[in-house]
Structure 1
Amino acid sequence: MAAPGSRPSKPNHERVEESTLALITAAIQLFGEKGYHQTTAAEIGSRAGFSRNMVRDRYGTKEELLRSLFEAEFGRRLLPAARRERRGRGLDRVLGVLDDLTTSVEAEPELIRAMIALTFETPVALRGFAPWFEELIEVYQSELRDHLRAGQYDGSVREDMDADREAEQFVSYAIGLCFRSVLYREKYDFAGALRAWRDRAIKDYSASTGTSPATGGG
């Protein structure tokens, strides 16, 4: 029985959930600041407010914590928000991709930064996670191609555009902006760059100057 005036202890499952969230949050912060290779499991435990062995006790290895981060945070929390179902004309769907990415950058800056930082470690330190990023790129590129082709069909996108080539360039440009965002960090206005890109996309993709694409998400 709890002593008078003391707070009742939390159920074990609540303590586990809170400690897991603290570890994931600490990992996101440190991976975004230092990258995966330069971050130790002990640092994650300490940043989360626990012992230096907490990551090992909870996950076994730093890599398993990272795998949980990919599945829970990137896979179920971030990506669905950045890849909603697209409706409307083809051009509106393309612009919706940029709108949702901008929203994610503003709403989840630390999570976005960690994901981007980890992306650029994939070719060497995180080679085992390369298939995850490769699939993500392929899916985005395929969806963009389909949006552009839909726009050519419905008259909102220029007919003379090579949808396959443009989708590839679109994704490559996005990767370039992502690199700048982690290179320059707080000095770089990532959301502002995305909005400027959106304005250019309207001019470059529109079938006519009279096209009035939606101002919000697709």
Structure 2
Amino acid sequence: MSAPSRRSQRERVEESSRRLAEAAIELIAEKGYSNTTAQEIGIRAGYSRAMVRERFGSKAALLEAVLSDYEGRIEVPQDPRTSGLQRALAPILALRDFAAEDPRLLRAVLSLNFEAVHDHDLLRERIQGWLTRLQNGVRCAIADGKVDGSISNLSDAEEVASELLATGIGYAYAWILDPSHYDFEGALTRWHDRLVTRLTGPA
């Protein structure tokens, strides 16, 4: 029987970064950003009290890395080679793929987003700002889709973008409440397909 292969330095760094990210999200969801310390994050992740500073420099830098990764995966793509319809609906598919690839981390980040409603610090402002950018991106993509012919001229860009954001938040909340019984990936796929039919209807 062969001995298990040793993990590379890169794999160990990725693992520690992931565990720190999960610990940070869990603690902030429980206690709020201001009441969570870098030392607590390191201990919750199973490392030393100084691990957050060694790996990221500060609690703020760790949270920035986590949120930037999450937001970057869900953003509206800017690729001009794709249609407005594809760009407008891309966040739905990105969210679905994220749920398939890393459901634990996604649920933690989504929980943090919902908990931020009760905060009045920079975390809440950060999340509000990102949701606004996401909605604006969808609206612009829909407007582009009406120009390139991939979206019906009857579709109102502002209305659809606002509805898409609100519906996505609703699906995410349902999944957070009961992840073992709610088919999040299936719900997102069916929602995406319904929107394709709706947005490509008669002009």
**8 Å CA contact 2:88, 2:139 repeated in 1:** no
**Separation in structure 2 between the aligned mates of residue 21 and residue 201 of structure 1, nearest angstrom:** 34
Asked whether 1:74 is paired with 2:71, we answer no
Equivalent AA in structure 2 for residue 198 of structure 1: H
Q: Could you say which residue in structure 2 is the equivalent of 1:169?
A: 163
Q: Could you say which residue in structure 2 is the equivalent of 1:206?
A: 200
Deviation at 1:58, TM superposition (A): 4.6
Q: 1:71 and 1:160, CA in 2 relative to 1: closer, same or farther beyond 3 A?
A: same
Deviation at 1:197, TM superposition (A): 0.5
**8 Å CA contact 1:90, 1:150 repeated in 2:** yes
Instruction: Pick the aligned partner of 1:89 from 83, 86, 95.
Output: 83
- What fraction of aligned residue pairs are identical, expressed as a percent? 30
Please list every run of 5 or more consecutive structure 2 residues that lacks an aligned counterpart in the other structure. Answer: 1-8
TM-score by length of 2: 0.75
Deviation at 1:123, TM superposition (A): 2.1
**Separation in structure 2 between the aligned mates of residue 68 and residue 172 of structure 1, nearest angstrom:** 29
Q: Could you say which residue in structure 2 is the equivalent of 1:101?
A: 95
Q: Could you say which residue in structure 1 is the equivalent of 2:45?
A: 48
Q: 1:123 and 1:82, CA in 2 relative to 1: closer, same or farther beyond 3 A?
A: closer
Cα RMSD over matched residues? 3.2
Q: 1:200 and 1:46, CA in 2 relative to 1: closer, same or farther beyond 3 A?
A: same
Q: Could you say which residue in structure 2 is the equivalent of 1:24?
A: 21
TM-score by length of 1: 0.71
Deviation at 1:191, TM superposition (A): 1.2
Equivalent AA in structure 2 for residue 95 of structure 1: L
How many pairs does the alignment contain?
A: 186
**8 Å CA contact 2:146, 2:152 repeated in 1:** yes
Please list every run of 5 or more consecutive structure 1 residues that lacks an aligned counterpart in the other structure. Answer: 1-10, 210-218
**Higher RCO structure, 1 or 2 (CA under 8 Å, sep 6+):** 1
| 1:68-99, Cα deviation, whole Å (9 max, x unpaired) | 34311220x22223224344221122232222
**Separation in structure 2 between the aligned mates of residue 116 and residue 174 of structure 1, nearest angstrom:** 11
Equivalent AA in structure 1 for residue 126 of structure 2: W
Q: 1:90 and 1:207, CA in 2 relative to 1: closer, same or farther beyond 3 A?
A: farther
**8 Å CA contact 2:42, 2:52 repeated in 1:** no
**8 Å CA contact 1:141, 1:168 repeated in 2:** yes
Pairing 1:113-132 to 2, within 5 Å after superposition: 113-125=107-119, 127-132=121-126
**8 Å CA contact 1:159, 1:207 repeated in 2:** no
Asked whether 1:153 is paired with 2:147, we answer yes
Equivalent AA in structure 1 for residue 78 of structure 2: E
**8 Å CA contact 1:155, 1:207 repeated in 2:** no
Deviation at 1:103, TM superposition (A): 1.2
Bigger-Rg structure (1/2): 1
